[in-house]
Structure 1
Amino acid sequence: MTGFSMSATPHSASEPREHLDTAIEREYRRARFLRRRDLTLAILTPIVLLIAWELAARTGLLDPRLFTPPSAIAVRGWQMIVTGTLWIDVFSTVARLIAGFVSGAILGIVVGLLMGVWRPLRAALDPTFTALYALPKIAILPLLLLIFGLTETPKILSVTISVFFVVQINTLAGIMQIDSRITEAARAYKASGFRLFRYVLVPAALPSIMTGLRVSAGMAVIVITAVEFVASNNGLGYLIWNSWQLFQPDSMFVGLIAVSLIGAISTGLVILLERAMLPWRHGRGPRKKGKTT
Protein backbone atom coordinates (compact mmCIF):
# COMPACT_ATOMS: atom_id res chain seq x y z
CA MET A 1 0.00 0.00 0.00
CA THR A 2 2.85 2.37 0.83
CA GLY A 3 4.52 1.79 -2.50
CA PHE A 4 1.21 2.38 -4.33
CA SER A 5 0.50 5.69 -2.58
CA MET A 6 4.02 7.01 -3.17
CA SER A 7 3.85 6.23 -6.87
CA ALA A 8 0.39 7.82 -7.21
CA THR A 9 1.34 11.09 -5.55
CA PRO A 10 3.35 12.61 -8.46
CA HIS A 11 0.62 11.69 -10.92
CA SER A 12 -2.13 13.23 -8.81
CA ALA A 13 -0.06 16.39 -8.25
CA SER A 14 0.42 16.87 -12.00
CA GLU A 15 -3.33 16.74 -12.73
CA PRO A 16 -4.13 20.29 -11.50
CA ARG A 17 -1.23 21.63 -13.57
CA GLU A 18 -2.56 19.87 -16.68
CA HIS A 19 -6.05 21.25 -16.05
CA LEU A 20 -4.60 24.74 -15.65
CA ASP A 21 -2.65 24.48 -18.91
CA THR A 22 -5.78 23.26 -20.68
CA ALA A 23 -7.84 26.15 -19.32
CA ILE A 24 -5.19 28.69 -20.35
CA GLU A 25 -4.98 27.21 -23.84
CA ARG A 26 -8.77 27.23 -24.17
CA GLU A 27 -8.98 30.87 -23.04
CA TYR A 28 -6.21 31.85 -25.44
CA ARG A 29 -8.01 30.22 -28.35
CA ARG A 30 -11.28 31.92 -27.40
CA ALA A 31 -9.62 35.35 -27.19
CA ARG A 32 -7.93 34.79 -30.57
CA PHE A 33 -11.24 33.75 -32.13
CA LEU A 34 -13.01 36.84 -30.76
CA ARG A 35 -10.29 39.14 -32.12
CA ARG A 36 -10.54 37.56 -35.57
CA ARG A 37 -14.33 37.72 -35.51
CA ASP A 38 -14.34 41.40 -34.51
CA LEU A 39 -11.82 42.25 -37.23
CA THR A 40 -13.86 40.35 -39.83
CA LEU A 41 -17.06 42.14 -38.84
CA ALA A 42 -15.32 45.52 -38.89
CA ILE A 43 -14.11 44.90 -42.45
CA LEU A 44 -17.22 43.23 -43.85
CA THR A 45 -19.80 45.72 -42.55
CA PRO A 46 -18.74 48.72 -44.70
CA ILE A 47 -18.17 46.41 -47.67
CA VAL A 48 -21.71 45.04 -47.41
CA LEU A 49 -23.14 48.55 -47.06
CA LEU A 50 -21.24 49.74 -50.14
CA ILE A 51 -22.43 46.76 -52.17
CA ALA A 52 -26.02 47.38 -51.08
CA TRP A 53 -25.69 51.06 -52.00
CA GLU A 54 -24.24 50.18 -55.43
CA LEU A 55 -27.02 47.68 -56.19
CA ALA A 56 -29.74 50.05 -54.99
CA ALA A 57 -28.43 52.87 -57.19
CA ARG A 58 -27.98 50.61 -60.22
CA THR A 59 -31.45 49.06 -59.93
CA GLY A 60 -33.27 52.35 -59.33
CA LEU A 61 -34.16 51.84 -55.67
CA LEU A 62 -32.12 54.99 -55.04
CA ASP A 63 -31.97 57.94 -57.40
CA PRO A 64 -28.42 57.83 -58.83
CA ARG A 65 -28.56 61.58 -59.48
CA LEU A 66 -28.71 62.13 -55.72
CA PHE A 67 -27.03 58.99 -54.40
CA THR A 68 -24.13 58.47 -56.77
CA PRO A 69 -23.06 54.79 -56.89
CA PRO A 70 -19.85 54.06 -54.94
CA SER A 71 -18.12 52.98 -58.15
CA ALA A 72 -18.77 56.38 -59.74
CA ILE A 73 -17.64 58.12 -56.55
CA ALA A 74 -14.42 56.11 -56.64
CA VAL A 75 -13.81 57.12 -60.27
CA ARG A 76 -14.42 60.78 -59.44
CA GLY A 77 -12.20 60.57 -56.38
CA TRP A 78 -9.37 59.08 -58.42
CA GLN A 79 -9.69 61.85 -60.99
CA MET A 80 -9.46 64.47 -58.23
CA ILE A 81 -6.42 62.74 -56.75
CA VAL A 82 -4.61 62.52 -60.10
CA THR A 83 -5.30 66.15 -60.97
CA GLY A 84 -4.28 67.25 -57.46
CA THR A 85 -7.47 69.18 -56.70
CA LEU A 86 -8.39 66.90 -53.80
CA TRP A 87 -4.94 67.17 -52.21
CA ILE A 88 -5.19 70.97 -52.09
CA ASP A 89 -8.41 70.76 -50.08
CA VAL A 90 -7.12 67.94 -47.86
CA PHE A 91 -3.90 69.75 -46.99
CA SER A 92 -5.79 72.98 -46.24
CA THR A 93 -8.19 71.22 -43.86
CA VAL A 94 -5.50 69.12 -42.18
CA ALA A 95 -3.24 72.14 -41.61
CA ARG A 96 -6.03 74.08 -39.90
CA LEU A 97 -7.06 71.02 -37.95
CA ILE A 98 -3.57 70.32 -36.61
CA ALA A 99 -2.91 73.94 -35.65
CA GLY A 100 -6.25 74.32 -33.88
CA PHE A 101 -6.20 70.93 -32.17
CA VAL A 102 -2.65 71.18 -30.83
CA SER A 103 -3.07 74.72 -29.51
CA GLY A 104 -6.47 73.98 -27.99
CA ALA A 105 -5.27 70.75 -26.37
CA ILE A 106 -2.20 72.37 -24.80
CA LEU A 107 -4.18 75.31 -23.45
CA GLY A 108 -6.96 73.04 -22.19
CA ILE A 109 -4.56 70.75 -20.32
CA VAL A 110 -2.61 73.64 -18.75
CA VAL A 111 -5.68 75.60 -17.68
CA GLY A 112 -7.48 72.48 -16.45
CA LEU A 113 -4.51 71.45 -14.31
CA LEU A 114 -4.10 74.95 -12.87
CA MET A 115 -7.80 75.17 -12.03
CA GLY A 116 -7.63 71.77 -10.40
CA VAL A 117 -4.77 72.63 -8.04
CA TRP A 118 -5.56 76.31 -7.40
CA ARG A 119 -8.99 76.81 -5.88
CA PRO A 120 -9.23 80.63 -6.35
CA LEU A 121 -8.62 80.23 -10.09
CA ARG A 122 -11.27 77.52 -10.28
CA ALA A 123 -13.77 79.70 -8.42
CA ALA A 124 -13.06 82.63 -10.75
CA LEU A 125 -13.17 80.83 -14.11
CA ASP A 126 -15.47 77.84 -13.66
CA PRO A 127 -18.82 79.71 -13.99
CA THR A 128 -17.59 81.67 -17.02
CA PHE A 129 -16.24 78.56 -18.75
CA THR A 130 -19.48 76.72 -18.04
CA ALA A 131 -21.48 79.45 -19.77
CA LEU A 132 -19.10 79.70 -22.73
CA TYR A 133 -19.01 75.92 -23.21
CA ALA A 134 -22.78 75.90 -23.79
CA LEU A 135 -22.39 78.46 -26.58
CA PRO A 136 -22.26 76.81 -30.03
CA LYS A 137 -18.68 77.24 -31.21
CA ILE A 138 -19.68 77.94 -34.80
CA ALA A 139 -21.68 80.92 -33.47
CA ILE A 140 -18.39 82.57 -32.44
CA LEU A 141 -17.16 82.56 -36.05
CA PRO A 142 -18.86 85.86 -37.08
CA LEU A 143 -17.18 87.63 -34.15
CA LEU A 144 -13.81 86.16 -35.08
CA LEU A 145 -14.31 87.22 -38.70
CA LEU A 146 -15.07 90.76 -37.55
CA ILE A 147 -11.89 90.87 -35.49
CA PHE A 148 -9.43 89.06 -37.78
CA GLY A 149 -11.06 89.32 -41.20
CA LEU A 150 -11.10 86.61 -43.88
CA THR A 151 -7.79 85.09 -42.84
CA GLU A 152 -6.72 81.70 -41.50
CA THR A 153 -6.84 82.93 -37.91
CA PRO A 154 -10.66 82.70 -37.40
CA LYS A 155 -10.74 79.17 -38.81
CA ILE A 156 -7.93 77.95 -36.56
CA LEU A 157 -9.30 79.76 -33.51
CA SER A 158 -12.71 78.15 -34.01
CA VAL A 159 -11.07 74.72 -33.68
CA THR A 160 -8.84 75.88 -30.81
CA ILE A 161 -11.81 77.12 -28.78
CA SER A 162 -13.81 73.93 -29.38
CA VAL A 163 -10.93 71.67 -28.36
CA PHE A 164 -9.96 73.86 -25.40
CA PHE A 165 -13.25 73.56 -23.53
CA VAL A 166 -13.57 69.80 -23.96
CA VAL A 167 -9.99 69.12 -22.83
CA GLN A 168 -10.15 71.66 -20.00
CA ILE A 169 -13.35 70.15 -18.57
CA ASN A 170 -11.98 66.61 -18.69
CA THR A 171 -8.61 67.63 -17.24
CA LEU A 172 -10.28 69.47 -14.36
CA ALA A 173 -12.54 66.47 -13.73
CA GLY A 174 -9.48 64.21 -13.66
CA ILE A 175 -7.83 66.36 -10.99
CA MET A 176 -10.98 66.71 -8.89
CA GLN A 177 -11.67 62.97 -8.78
CA ILE A 178 -8.27 62.11 -7.30
CA ASP A 179 -8.72 60.48 -3.89
CA SER A 180 -7.52 62.83 -1.16
CA ARG A 181 -5.79 59.91 0.53
CA ILE A 182 -3.44 59.63 -2.45
CA THR A 183 -2.29 63.23 -2.12
CA GLU A 184 -2.00 62.86 1.65
CA ALA A 185 0.19 59.79 1.23
CA ALA A 186 2.32 61.61 -1.35
CA ARG A 187 2.82 64.56 1.00
CA ALA A 188 3.72 62.15 3.80
CA TYR A 189 6.58 60.98 1.59
CA LYS A 190 7.75 64.60 1.13
CA ALA A 191 6.19 65.03 -2.33
CA SER A 192 5.23 68.66 -2.77
CA GLY A 193 5.22 71.40 -5.36
CA PHE A 194 6.40 70.30 -8.78
CA ARG A 195 7.16 66.74 -7.64
CA LEU A 196 3.57 66.29 -6.44
CA PHE A 197 2.31 67.82 -9.66
CA ARG A 198 4.58 65.75 -11.91
CA TYR A 199 4.47 62.34 -10.24
CA VAL A 200 0.99 62.25 -8.64
CA LEU A 201 -1.53 64.71 -10.04
CA VAL A 202 -0.74 64.52 -13.77
CA PRO A 203 -0.53 60.69 -13.95
CA ALA A 204 -3.78 60.38 -11.98
CA ALA A 205 -5.56 62.82 -14.29
CA LEU A 206 -4.07 61.35 -17.47
CA PRO A 207 -6.98 58.96 -18.24
CA SER A 208 -9.45 61.85 -18.15
CA ILE A 209 -7.12 64.00 -20.26
CA MET A 210 -6.91 61.29 -22.92
CA THR A 211 -10.69 60.95 -22.90
CA GLY A 212 -10.96 64.67 -23.54
CA LEU A 213 -8.50 64.44 -26.41
CA ARG A 214 -10.44 61.59 -28.02
CA VAL A 215 -13.75 63.47 -27.81
CA SER A 216 -12.24 66.75 -29.01
CA ALA A 217 -10.54 65.08 -32.00
CA GLY A 218 -13.89 64.25 -33.56
CA MET A 219 -15.36 67.60 -32.58
CA ALA A 220 -12.44 69.43 -34.19
CA VAL A 221 -13.15 67.75 -37.54
CA ILE A 222 -16.82 68.73 -37.32
CA VAL A 223 -16.03 72.35 -36.47
CA ILE A 224 -13.39 72.89 -39.17
CA THR A 225 -15.71 71.39 -41.80
CA ALA A 226 -18.57 73.66 -40.72
CA VAL A 227 -16.28 76.70 -40.71
CA GLU A 228 -15.05 75.93 -44.22
CA PHE A 229 -18.67 75.79 -45.40
CA VAL A 230 -19.10 79.54 -44.94
CA ALA A 231 -15.69 81.16 -44.46
CA SER A 232 -13.25 79.56 -46.85
CA ASN A 233 -12.48 79.17 -50.53
CA ASN A 234 -10.59 75.89 -50.05
CA GLY A 235 -10.68 72.87 -47.80
CA LEU A 236 -12.94 69.84 -47.67
CA GLY A 237 -15.81 71.78 -46.14
CA TYR A 238 -15.65 74.20 -49.06
CA LEU A 239 -15.51 71.26 -51.48
CA ILE A 240 -18.65 69.71 -49.99
CA TRP A 241 -20.60 72.97 -49.89
CA ASN A 242 -19.53 74.11 -53.36
CA SER A 243 -20.33 70.71 -54.85
CA TRP A 244 -23.79 70.89 -53.36
CA GLN A 245 -24.36 74.36 -54.80
CA LEU A 246 -23.21 73.21 -58.24
CA PHE A 247 -25.20 69.96 -57.93
CA GLN A 248 -22.16 67.69 -58.21
CA PRO A 249 -23.06 64.87 -55.82
CA ASP A 250 -20.10 62.72 -56.85
CA SER A 251 -17.61 65.41 -55.76
CA MET A 252 -19.68 66.07 -52.65
CA PHE A 253 -19.48 62.41 -51.64
CA VAL A 254 -15.73 62.43 -52.25
CA GLY A 255 -15.44 65.32 -49.80
CA LEU A 256 -17.65 63.57 -47.25
CA ILE A 257 -15.58 60.39 -47.45
CA ALA A 258 -12.35 62.37 -47.11
CA VAL A 259 -13.68 64.13 -43.99
CA SER A 260 -14.72 60.77 -42.52
CA LEU A 261 -11.26 59.33 -43.14
CA ILE A 262 -9.57 62.34 -41.55
CA GLY A 263 -11.85 62.00 -38.51
CA ALA A 264 -11.06 58.29 -38.21
CA ILE A 265 -7.32 58.88 -38.57
CA SER A 266 -7.37 61.70 -36.00
CA THR A 267 -9.20 59.57 -33.45
CA GLY A 268 -6.95 56.61 -34.22
CA LEU A 269 -3.81 58.66 -33.58
CA VAL A 270 -5.18 59.78 -30.22
CA ILE A 271 -5.99 56.16 -29.36
CA LEU A 272 -2.42 55.13 -30.23
CA LEU A 273 -1.13 57.94 -28.01
CA GLU A 274 -3.41 56.75 -25.23
CA ARG A 275 -2.16 53.19 -25.57
CA ALA A 276 1.43 54.42 -25.36
CA MET A 277 0.83 56.61 -22.31
CA LEU A 278 -1.67 54.35 -20.52
CA PRO A 279 -0.55 50.80 -21.33
CA TRP A 280 -2.21 49.38 -18.21
CA ARG A 281 -5.65 50.32 -19.59
CA HIS A 282 -5.17 48.28 -22.77
CA GLY A 283 -4.08 44.83 -21.69
CA ARG A 284 -3.40 42.32 -24.41
CA GLY A 285 -5.59 39.71 -22.80
CA PRO A 286 -4.69 36.04 -22.41
CA ARG A 287 -1.42 34.93 -23.92
CA LYS A 288 -0.53 31.47 -25.03
CA LYS A 289 1.45 29.67 -22.37
CA GLY A 290 4.86 28.52 -23.50
CA LYS A 291 5.83 24.91 -23.24
CA THR A 292 7.60 23.93 -20.06
CA THR A 293 10.05 21.16 -19.63
Structure 2
Amino acid sequence: MSVVELRGELGSAVRAGPRPHPRPRPRAAASRRHRKGWHRWVSPLVLVLLWQAASASGLLPARLLAAPSQIASTTLDLVSTGTLPTAIAVSLERVLLGFAAGALTGIGLALVAGLSRAGENAVDPIMQMLRALPFFGLIPLFILWFGIGEAPKVLLVALAVSFPLYLNTFAGIRGVDGKLAEVARTLRLGRAALVRHIVLPGALPQTLVGLRQSLGVAWLALIVAEQVNADAGLGFMINDAREFLRTDVIVVGLLVYSALGLLTDALVRLLERRALVWRREFLPG
Protein backbone atom coordinates (compact mmCIF):
# COMPACT_ATOMS: atom_id res chain seq x y z
CA MET A 1 0.00 0.00 0.00
CA SER A 2 1.42 3.37 -0.99
CA VAL A 3 1.87 6.29 1.41
CA VAL A 4 -0.76 8.26 -0.47
CA GLU A 5 -3.32 5.47 -0.10
CA LEU A 6 -2.46 5.04 3.59
CA ARG A 7 -2.89 8.75 4.23
CA GLY A 8 -6.21 8.65 2.41
CA GLU A 9 -7.53 5.85 4.60
CA LEU A 10 -6.31 7.55 7.78
CA GLY A 11 -7.97 10.79 6.72
CA SER A 12 -11.24 9.00 6.07
CA ALA A 13 -11.09 7.35 9.49
CA VAL A 14 -10.42 10.66 11.22
CA ARG A 15 -13.26 12.38 9.38
CA ALA A 16 -15.63 9.55 10.12
CA GLY A 17 -14.70 9.59 13.81
CA PRO A 18 -15.58 6.83 16.26
CA ARG A 19 -18.75 4.98 15.65
CA PRO A 20 -21.50 5.98 18.11
CA HIS A 21 -22.19 3.42 20.76
CA PRO A 22 -25.61 1.92 20.10
CA ARG A 23 -28.18 2.93 22.71
CA PRO A 24 -29.82 0.06 24.51
CA ARG A 25 -33.25 -0.81 23.33
CA PRO A 26 -36.04 0.44 25.62
CA ARG A 27 -37.39 -3.07 26.11
CA ALA A 28 -33.96 -4.44 27.06
CA ALA A 29 -33.35 -1.53 29.47
CA ALA A 30 -36.75 -2.08 31.07
CA SER A 31 -35.97 -5.78 31.43
CA ARG A 32 -32.71 -5.01 33.22
CA ARG A 33 -34.47 -2.58 35.58
CA HIS A 34 -37.08 -5.26 36.29
CA ARG A 35 -34.38 -7.81 37.14
CA LYS A 36 -32.69 -5.36 39.50
CA GLY A 37 -35.98 -4.45 41.22
CA TRP A 38 -35.70 -7.35 43.64
CA HIS A 39 -32.55 -5.78 45.14
CA ARG A 40 -34.73 -3.24 46.96
CA TRP A 41 -36.39 -6.06 48.90
CA VAL A 42 -33.18 -7.52 50.32
CA SER A 43 -32.68 -5.11 53.23
CA PRO A 44 -36.36 -5.20 54.40
CA LEU A 45 -36.32 -9.01 54.34
CA VAL A 46 -33.05 -9.10 56.28
CA LEU A 47 -34.53 -6.70 58.84
CA VAL A 48 -37.61 -8.91 59.28
CA LEU A 49 -35.44 -12.02 59.70
CA LEU A 50 -33.30 -10.28 62.34
CA TRP A 51 -36.46 -9.09 64.06
CA GLN A 52 -37.85 -12.65 64.14
CA ALA A 53 -34.55 -14.05 65.39
CA ALA A 54 -34.36 -11.46 68.19
CA SER A 55 -37.92 -12.27 69.26
CA ALA A 56 -37.37 -16.03 69.18
CA SER A 57 -34.18 -15.76 71.22
CA GLY A 58 -35.80 -13.56 73.87
CA LEU A 59 -33.66 -10.49 73.13
CA LEU A 60 -36.82 -8.63 72.11
CA PRO A 61 -39.65 -9.35 74.58
CA ALA A 62 -43.20 -9.56 73.23
CA ARG A 63 -44.34 -6.87 75.69
CA LEU A 64 -42.08 -4.41 73.86
CA LEU A 65 -42.61 -5.59 70.30
CA ALA A 66 -44.34 -8.69 68.98
CA ALA A 67 -42.57 -11.04 66.59
CA PRO A 68 -43.32 -10.85 62.84
CA SER A 69 -44.90 -14.31 62.97
CA GLN A 70 -47.24 -13.19 65.75
CA ILE A 71 -48.12 -10.02 63.82
CA ALA A 72 -48.95 -12.07 60.72
CA SER A 73 -51.15 -14.41 62.79
CA THR A 74 -52.91 -11.45 64.43
CA THR A 75 -53.54 -9.88 61.04
CA LEU A 76 -55.26 -13.03 59.80
CA ASP A 77 -57.39 -13.15 62.96
CA LEU A 78 -58.41 -9.48 62.64
CA VAL A 79 -59.33 -10.00 58.98
CA SER A 80 -61.30 -13.20 59.64
CA THR A 81 -63.32 -11.59 62.43
CA GLY A 82 -64.02 -8.49 60.32
CA THR A 83 -62.38 -6.12 62.81
CA LEU A 84 -59.67 -4.89 60.48
CA PRO A 85 -61.83 -4.40 57.34
CA THR A 86 -64.39 -2.43 59.38
CA ALA A 87 -61.69 -0.23 60.91
CA ILE A 88 -60.15 0.42 57.49
CA ALA A 89 -63.52 1.36 56.02
CA VAL A 90 -64.24 3.87 58.82
CA SER A 91 -60.80 5.47 58.57
CA LEU A 92 -60.99 5.64 54.77
CA GLU A 93 -64.31 7.43 54.97
CA ARG A 94 -62.85 10.04 57.33
CA VAL A 95 -59.80 10.57 55.14
CA LEU A 96 -61.82 10.90 51.94
CA LEU A 97 -64.24 13.42 53.45
CA GLY A 98 -61.46 15.43 55.05
CA PHE A 99 -59.30 15.30 51.94
CA ALA A 100 -62.14 16.46 49.67
CA ALA A 101 -62.93 19.42 51.93
CA GLY A 102 -59.27 20.34 52.41
CA ALA A 103 -58.41 20.02 48.71
CA LEU A 104 -61.26 22.28 47.63
CA THR A 105 -60.34 24.83 50.28
CA GLY A 106 -56.60 24.79 49.61
CA ILE A 107 -56.83 24.97 45.82
CA GLY A 108 -59.60 27.59 45.95
CA LEU A 109 -57.63 29.84 48.28
CA ALA A 110 -54.49 29.36 46.17
CA LEU A 111 -56.38 30.56 43.09
CA VAL A 112 -57.63 33.62 44.96
CA ALA A 113 -54.16 34.46 46.29
CA GLY A 114 -52.25 33.52 43.17
CA LEU A 115 -54.29 35.39 40.58
CA SER A 116 -54.37 38.78 42.24
CA ARG A 117 -52.22 40.86 44.55
CA ALA A 118 -55.24 41.84 46.65
CA GLY A 119 -56.18 38.19 47.08
CA GLU A 120 -52.64 37.38 48.20
CA ASN A 121 -52.69 40.17 50.79
CA ALA A 122 -56.03 38.94 52.12
CA VAL A 123 -55.42 35.17 52.15
CA ASP A 124 -51.71 34.44 52.44
CA PRO A 125 -51.00 35.98 55.90
CA ILE A 126 -53.86 34.02 57.46
CA MET A 127 -52.77 30.74 55.85
CA GLN A 128 -49.16 31.26 56.94
CA MET A 129 -50.29 31.79 60.54
CA LEU A 130 -52.68 28.85 60.60
CA ARG A 131 -50.20 26.34 59.17
CA ALA A 132 -47.88 26.94 62.12
CA LEU A 133 -50.49 25.76 64.63
CA PRO A 134 -49.95 22.26 66.10
CA PHE A 135 -52.74 19.70 65.62
CA PHE A 136 -52.76 18.65 69.26
CA GLY A 137 -53.27 22.24 70.31
CA LEU A 138 -56.39 22.47 68.15
CA ILE A 139 -58.07 19.34 69.50
CA PRO A 140 -59.53 20.97 72.67
CA LEU A 141 -60.97 23.86 70.65
CA PHE A 142 -62.41 21.54 68.01
CA ILE A 143 -64.09 19.47 70.73
CA LEU A 144 -65.64 22.62 72.22
CA TRP A 145 -66.77 23.89 68.83
CA PHE A 146 -67.87 20.70 67.09
CA GLY A 147 -68.36 18.12 69.86
CA ILE A 148 -66.80 14.66 69.93
CA GLY A 149 -68.44 13.16 66.87
CA GLU A 150 -67.12 12.85 63.33
CA ALA A 151 -66.94 16.57 62.60
CA PRO A 152 -63.70 17.39 64.50
CA LYS A 153 -61.94 14.34 63.03
CA VAL A 154 -62.85 15.24 59.46
CA LEU A 155 -62.04 18.92 59.99
CA LEU A 156 -58.60 18.14 61.41
CA VAL A 157 -57.79 16.10 58.30
CA ALA A 158 -59.18 18.85 56.06
CA LEU A 159 -57.08 21.49 57.80
CA ALA A 160 -53.92 19.42 57.41
CA VAL A 161 -54.60 18.72 53.74
CA SER A 162 -55.32 22.31 52.76
CA PHE A 163 -51.87 23.75 53.54
CA PRO A 164 -49.64 21.64 51.23
CA LEU A 165 -52.10 22.07 48.38
CA TYR A 166 -52.37 25.81 49.00
CA LEU A 167 -48.61 26.37 49.13
CA ASN A 168 -47.77 24.27 46.09
CA THR A 169 -50.64 25.52 43.94
CA PHE A 170 -49.83 29.12 44.85
CA ALA A 171 -46.16 28.57 43.97
CA GLY A 172 -47.17 26.88 40.71
CA ILE A 173 -49.40 29.77 39.68
CA ARG A 174 -46.75 32.37 40.47
CA GLY A 175 -44.12 30.25 38.72
CA VAL A 176 -45.83 30.28 35.32
CA ASP A 177 -43.58 31.86 32.69
CA GLY A 178 -44.54 35.50 32.12
CA LYS A 179 -43.77 35.19 28.41
CA LEU A 180 -46.78 32.91 28.07
CA ALA A 181 -48.97 35.73 29.37
CA GLU A 182 -47.52 38.00 26.69
CA VAL A 183 -48.38 35.39 24.07
CA ALA A 184 -51.92 35.26 25.47
CA ARG A 185 -52.27 39.03 25.20
CA THR A 186 -50.97 38.87 21.65
CA LEU A 187 -53.64 36.28 20.85
CA ARG A 188 -56.19 38.51 22.62
CA LEU A 189 -57.21 35.87 25.14
CA GLY A 190 -59.50 37.01 27.93
CA ARG A 191 -58.63 36.57 31.58
CA ALA A 192 -60.77 33.44 31.91
CA ALA A 193 -59.11 31.88 28.85
CA LEU A 194 -55.69 32.91 30.18
CA VAL A 195 -56.34 31.15 33.49
CA ARG A 196 -57.83 28.08 31.83
CA HIS A 197 -55.33 27.51 29.04
CA ILE A 198 -52.08 28.88 30.48
CA VAL A 199 -52.11 29.42 34.25
CA LEU A 200 -53.81 26.19 35.37
CA PRO A 201 -51.85 23.85 33.05
CA GLY A 202 -48.63 25.61 34.02
CA ALA A 203 -49.37 25.19 37.73
CA LEU A 204 -50.49 21.55 37.39
CA PRO A 205 -47.08 19.90 38.05
CA GLN A 206 -46.61 21.82 41.29
CA THR A 207 -50.22 21.14 42.30
CA LEU A 208 -49.68 17.41 41.88
CA VAL A 209 -46.63 17.64 44.13
CA GLY A 210 -48.85 19.26 46.74
CA LEU A 211 -51.40 16.51 46.20
CA ARG A 212 -48.85 13.83 47.05
CA GLN A 213 -47.71 15.75 50.12
CA SER A 214 -51.27 16.38 51.30
CA LEU A 215 -52.20 12.69 51.06
CA GLY A 216 -49.26 11.79 53.28
CA VAL A 217 -50.20 14.50 55.76
CA ALA A 218 -53.84 13.33 55.68
CA TRP A 219 -52.94 9.96 57.17
CA LEU A 220 -50.76 11.60 59.82
CA ALA A 221 -53.60 13.94 60.73
CA LEU A 222 -56.01 11.01 60.88
CA ILE A 223 -53.87 9.31 63.53
CA VAL A 224 -54.17 12.46 65.64
CA ALA A 225 -57.85 12.96 64.82
CA GLU A 226 -58.81 9.44 65.84
CA GLN A 227 -57.56 10.13 69.34
CA VAL A 228 -60.66 12.30 69.83
CA ASN A 229 -63.01 9.85 71.53
CA ALA A 230 -63.17 7.52 68.53
CA ASP A 231 -65.28 4.37 68.83
CA ALA A 232 -64.28 2.89 65.47
CA GLY A 233 -61.44 3.06 62.97
CA LEU A 234 -57.77 2.21 62.95
CA GLY A 235 -56.98 4.76 65.65
CA PHE A 236 -59.60 3.27 67.96
CA MET A 237 -58.20 -0.21 67.31
CA ILE A 238 -54.68 0.97 68.18
CA ASN A 239 -55.82 2.79 71.35
CA ASP A 240 -57.80 -0.24 72.49
CA ALA A 241 -54.78 -2.47 71.92
CA ARG A 242 -52.59 -0.08 73.90
CA GLU A 243 -54.81 -0.51 76.96
CA PHE A 244 -54.18 -4.27 76.87
CA LEU A 245 -50.49 -4.05 75.83
CA ARG A 246 -51.23 -5.77 72.52
CA THR A 247 -48.17 -4.68 70.58
CA ASP A 248 -49.08 -7.05 67.76
CA VAL A 249 -52.37 -5.23 67.12
CA ILE A 250 -50.65 -1.85 67.38
CA VAL A 251 -48.08 -2.84 64.75
CA VAL A 252 -50.83 -4.19 62.49
CA GLY A 253 -52.64 -0.85 62.67
CA LEU A 254 -49.45 1.09 61.92
CA LEU A 255 -48.63 -1.18 58.99
CA VAL A 256 -52.11 -0.64 57.57
CA TYR A 257 -51.66 3.13 57.87
CA SER A 258 -48.38 2.82 55.95
CA ALA A 259 -49.89 0.56 53.28
CA LEU A 260 -52.80 2.92 52.72
CA GLY A 261 -50.41 5.84 52.46
CA LEU A 262 -48.33 4.00 49.84
CA LEU A 263 -51.47 3.04 47.92
CA THR A 264 -52.80 6.59 47.75
CA ASP A 265 -49.36 7.89 46.76
CA ALA A 266 -49.19 5.31 43.95
CA LEU A 267 -52.59 6.46 42.68
CA VAL A 268 -51.41 10.08 42.56
CA ARG A 269 -48.22 9.06 40.75
CA LEU A 270 -50.34 7.24 38.18
CA LEU A 271 -52.46 10.37 37.76
CA GLU A 272 -49.27 12.41 37.41
CA ARG A 273 -47.95 10.17 34.64
CA ARG A 274 -51.23 10.44 32.76
CA ALA A 275 -51.71 14.19 33.24
CA LEU A 276 -48.09 15.16 32.57
CA VAL A 277 -47.32 12.81 29.71
CA TRP A 278 -45.75 15.72 27.82
CA ARG A 279 -42.92 15.92 30.36
CA ARG A 280 -41.52 12.56 29.22
CA GLU A 281 -39.92 14.40 26.33
CA PHE A 282 -37.66 16.19 28.84
CA LEU A 283 -36.72 13.15 30.91
CA PRO A 284 -33.49 11.24 30.21
CA GLY A 285 -33.80 7.81 28.68
Instruction: Please tell me the TM-score bracket, short chain as reference.
Output: 0.7 to 0.9
Q: Which amino acid aligns with 1:221?
A: W
CA RMSD of superposed structures (Å): 2.5
Equivalent residue number for residue 98 of structure 2: 100
**Cα shift readout 1:25-82 (whole Å, capped 9, x = no counterpart):** 3787456424532x21233332222112111111222223321111110001100100
Question: How far apart in 2 are the matches of 1:191 and 1:257?
Answer: 51
> Relative to structure 1, is the Cα distance of residues 44 and 102 closer, same or farther in structure 2, using a 3 angstrom cutoff?
farther
Q: Which amino acid aligns with 2:35?
A: R
Query: Which structure 1 residue ranges, 5 or more long, are not aligned?
Result: 287-293
Equivalent residue number for residue 208 of structure 2: 210
> Relative to structure 1, is the Cα distance of residues 271 and 27 closer, same or farther in structure 2, using a 3 angstrom cutoff?
closer
Asked if 1:221 is matched to 2:222, the reply is no
Residues 137 and 161, structure 1, Cα contact 8 Å, conserved in 2: no
Q: Which amino acid aligns with 1:86?
A: L
**Cα shift readout 1:186-238 (whole Å, capped 9, x = no counterpart):** 22111222211111000110111011111111110011011112331111112
Asked if 1:36 is matched to 2:31, the reply is no
Residues 168 and 207, structure 2, Cα contact 8 Å, conserved in 1: yes
Equivalent residue number for residue 59 of structure 1: 57
Q: Report the Cα offset of residue 181 of structure 1.
A: 1.6
Query: Which structure 2 residue ranges, 5 or more long, are not aligned?
Result: none
- Aligned residues: percent identity? 34
Q: 2:158 aligns with which of 160, 175, 182?
A: 160
Alignment of 1:105-254 (within 5 A): 105-254=103-252
Q: Report the Cα offset of residue 155 of structure 1.
A: 0.6
Residues 115 and 121, structure 1, Cα contact 8 Å, conserved in 2: yes
Asked if 1:275 is matched to 2:273, the reply is yes
**Cα shift readout 1:223-268 (whole Å, capped 9, x = no counterpart):** 1011112331111112112211211111111111111111111111
Residues 139 and 228, structure 2, Cα contact 8 Å, conserved in 1: no
Q: How many residue pairs are counted as aligned between the two chains?
A: 274
**Cα shift readout 1:84-141 (whole Å, capped 9, x = no counterpart):** 0111111111110011112211221122022111211111121111111111134222
Equivalent residue number for residue 69 of structure 1: 67
| TM-score normalized by the length of structure 2 | 0.88
